[in-house]
Structure 1
Amino acid sequence: MNKRSSAYEISVLGILSAIIILQSFIPFFGNITIPGLPAITTVHLTVILGAIILGTKEGMFLGGVWGVSSLIRAYTMATDPLTILLFRNPLIAIIPRILVGLVAGLIFNQIAKQMRTGVWGTVKMSVAGILGAMTNTAGFVLFTWSMYMGHSTQVIAGSTSETFFVLLIGLILGNAIVEVVSAGIITPILGQALIRFKR
């Protein structure tokens, strides 16, 4: 990596980190809040795009920025009891977000490396976006289920250890669909433009 390329990547990493922080704390910029439900997020798009244009490690770093921002937001700007309960837990707030950058970066940068633009590049970006978004949802569900299955009524009133997993999926299903579809569509549109700009 030459100095020019390194300076470019550090600059972009800094810009994307700043965008993620703004998305995390400015209402409706990165999180669309529905009372009583987890917020619909657009921050995952920034993490996924960062992983695509900069690399897997950088994507994981951006996911970490998102996770730490979510943790701080849960302590300082929580808008509902569910956010307070779940996202004040570092494992739930941070780990799934780091995994978003890992999965998106690995898919785009390690599979058929030479195919970065054109039709196949677009397909790869779309798949990276979809699976990155699904990783965030799956990580949230699995960490929440594993940590609260013994006292599930704290999360979903009337649930039991047997029904908690299914009810948890049902609780966030609508949000997850919106996030996955948006990632599958928007990631290749913005990603192709950013890849061309980088070249």
Structure 2
Amino acid sequence: MGIFGALIILQAYIPMVGYIRIFPAWPAISTIHLTVILGGVLLGIPGGAGLGLLWGVISLIKAYTSATDPMTLLLFQNPVIAIVPRVMVGIVAAAVFNLIAPKVKTGLGATVKLVAAGILGALTNTGLVIVFTWIFFASRATQVVAGADSANLGLLLMAAFGINAIAEAAMAGIVTPILGRVLLAVQARRR
């Protein structure tokens, strides 16, 4: 737990490691979700939730102290938007890997579970950020996206975060099984 927590802190504060910024005014693509997903796979639901909580609290702090784009400044100063989706990343990844066919920890079955845990964990974060943003900002949609109203805010957010969602889910679907299989083998040898 400590090693994963330290990695999350490093990723959050070293430029272009935890948040990769492609366009200056666009939300950064995160890599921190990979650490939370792997933590959830290896440490179970409590470990995944704890790592997600750490990521969420850091997101909240960074939104107040060093927001790099207007979307981060607006959305992630809300504790629900900053924390709940991140906690759920760890819970979803841990549940997918550890509760579906719990005895399968090696081979093709484990790889499929790792891919599913990675993709679903990544999509959980983006999906919940969109849902909570819509809940909190639907009545004042133009604050979030110019030209938006309460009816189309969700669609505009999906379009805005769509690139990030695809990139983060693809990254998680590839990296999670590669690192996860190695880490699971190490964990099995230590038992």
Aligned to 2:28: 39
Shift in Å at residue 119 of structure 1? Answer: 0.5
| C-alpha distance in 2 between matches for 1:91 and 1:36 | 23
Q: Secondary structure at the match of 1:197?
A: helix
Shift in Å at residue 143 of structure 1? Answer: 0.3
Count of residues in Structure 1 that have an aligned counterpart in Structure 2: 187
Contact 1:37 1:172 survives alignment (8 Å): no
RMSD between superposed Cα atoms in Å: 0.7
Matched, 1:119 2:108: yes
Aligned to 1:156: 145
| C-alpha distance in 1 between matches for 2:63 and 2:12 | 10
Q: Secondary structure at the match of 1:132?
A: helix
| C-alpha distance in 1 between matches for 2:114 and 2:69 | 34
| C-alpha distance in 1 between matches for 2:12 and 2:79 | 16
Q: Secondary structure at the match of 2:182?
A: helix
Q: TM-score, normalised by structure 2?
A: 0.96
Matched, 1:89 2:66: no
| C-alpha distance in 2 between matches for 1:147 and 1:182 | 29
| C-alpha distance in 2 between matches for 1:162 and 1:110 | 37
Aligned to 1:172: 161
Shift in Å at residue 23 of structure 1? Answer: 0.9
- Aligned AA for 1:118? G
Q: Which runs of 5+ in 2 are unaligned?
A: none
Aligned to 2:176: 187
Aligned to 2:58: 69
Q: TM-score, normalised by structure 1?
A: 0.92
Q: Which runs of 5+ in 1 are unaligned?
A: 1-12
| C-alpha distance in 2 between matches for 1:53 and 1:113 | 12
- Aligned AA for 1:14? G
Q: Structure 1 runs of 4+ off > 4 angstroms?
A: none
- Aligned AA for 1:26? I
Aligned to 2:126: 137
Q: Secondary structure at the match of 2:123?
A: helix
